[in-house]
Amino acid sequence: MAHQAGFVSIIGKPNAGKSTLMNALVGEKMSIITPKAQTTRHRILGIVNDENYQIVFSDTPGVIKPHYALHESMMHQVDGSIVDADLILLVTDIYEEYDEADVLKKLERSEAPLAVLINKIDQSDEETVKKKVEFWQEKLNPKAIFAISALHGHNIKAIMDFVIGNLPEHAPYYEKDALTDRNDRFFASEMIREQVFKQYKKEIPYSTEVIVTAFIEGEKLYRISAEIIVERDSQKNIIIGKNGEMLKIVGTYARRSMEEFFQQKIFLEMFVKVIPDWRTKKNYLKQFGYE
C-alpha cells in the first residue's frame, strides 16, 4: 500500500473549538485552550504518524477582521494554511449565527476537499443540530459534515477515518517521530501565555506577549527565563499584582504545565517588560516570531 501524507487545516471563527479539536486529533496538548476568544495567535502543526500515513494537522488563529498589525499577521497565517491544505476542516459550533462570511470568503481560494464540523453538540438538542447540518449542506455542499464534541471526544474517530480516507499519496513531510514543527521554547512561552489568559480579565491577555529568553536543559532540571511583554505601565502593575501575588500564581500554574509537558523538574523565572503599542509595530512582531 502506498504511503499517504498531507496537510489538514483546521479553520473557523474564534472560540469554535479548533484548538480543543486539534489536541483531540493529535492526542497531545499542542495548542493552548482557554474560554477566551483569539487565544491562538500562531499556526501550530500537530503531526500524527502511522506506518502507512502521516497527517499534518494545522491549528490556526480564529478568523477575524484585523484591527492591529498583530491581527494582520494572524490572518496571513490562516491564508497560508488554506493555500497549503490538502484537506480543510471547517469548525463551526451550535451557537453560530450563520455569520461566517469572513471564513467563507477565505475558503473561496481553496480547491481542497472540505468537511464541516459542527462542534459543541453536547450543549445542544437534536433538532438544532439537524438544522445546522441542513444549513451547511445547502450552503457549501461539503464532502462530509460531522456533528461533534471535541471536548468529549465524540465523533473524533469518524473525523480521523475521513481524513485518512482523503489523504493524497505522498512520502512523509517530516521525520516519523516528529510531533510538531515547534520547539520547546515555543511551548514554554505558550504555557505562560495560557495562564495570562486564564488569570487576567478584559484587555490584559490581548495586550500581552511572552518571550522565552533562556531555556537551559540540565539533567535533573530545566531552567527557563521569560519576559511577559505588555503595552503600558498600568498593565505591568496588574500583571505583577500586589506584592507580586498575581505573577506568582501565573508562574506556579505555568510551571506545573511545563513539568507535565516536558516530564522534567522546572525552575521558572519571569520578568515583566513594557513595550508601548507592540501589537502595532511590525519590527517587534517580527522579533516575536510573527511573519
Q: Which residues are annotated as a binding site for GTP?
A: 12-19, 59-63, 119-122
Q: Residue 137 to residues 63, 118, 142, 143, 188: CA-CA distances in angstroms?
A: 21, 12, 7, 9, 41
Cα–Cα distance between 129 and 188 in angstroms, integer?
38
- For residue 205 the three cell numbers come to 491577555
> In which element (H, E) is residue 224 found?
strand 221-230
- Identify the bridge partners of residue 147 per DSSP, sorted by sequence position: 118
Coil, strand or helix at 214: strand
- For residue 39 the three cell numbers come to 487565544
Minimal CA–CA distance to 39: which of 256, 231, 190?
190
- Identify the bridge partners of residue 49 per DSSP, sorted by sequence position: 54
Cα–Cα distance between 55 and 46 in angstroms, integer?
8
CA angle, 25 then 30 then 36, to 5°:
100
Are 84 and 11 spatial neighbours (Cβ–Cβ below 8 Å)? no
